[in-house]
Amino acid sequence: MINRTVLVGRLTRDPELRYTGSGAAVVSFTVAVNRQFTNSQGEREADFINCVMWRKAAENFANFTRKGSLVGIDGRIQTRNYENQQGQRVFVTEVVADNFSLLESRSESERRQSSESHNDSQGSMPSQPSSNPFDAGQSDSGAQQPNSNPNDPFANGGQSIDISDDDLPF
Domains, in order of start, for the chain: 5-103 (2.40.50.140)
pLDDT at 122: 53
- Backbone phi, then psi, for 48, in 5-degree steps? -110, 110
Count of C-beta atoms within a 10 Å radius of residue 148: 10
Q: Give pLDDT, residue 117.
A: 66
Query: What's the confidence (pLDDT) of residue 170?
Result: 58
- 83 has which bridge partners? 89
> DSSP string of 122-166?
H-S-PPPPP--GGGTTB-TT--B-----TT-TT--TT------GG
pLDDT of residue 92: 93
What is the model's pLDDT at position 21? 94
At residue 140, the pLDDT reads 44
Q: Any residues with CB less than 8 A from the CB of 37 and at least 6 apart, and which?
A: 44
Per-residue pLDDT of the chain (170 residues; tens, 9 = 90+): 999 999 999 999 999 999 999 999 999 999 999 998 888 888 889 999 999 999 999 999 999 999 989 999 999 999 999 999 999 999 999 999 999 999 988 778 778 777 776 665 555 444 444 444 444 444 444 444 444 555 665 555 555 566 666 666 65
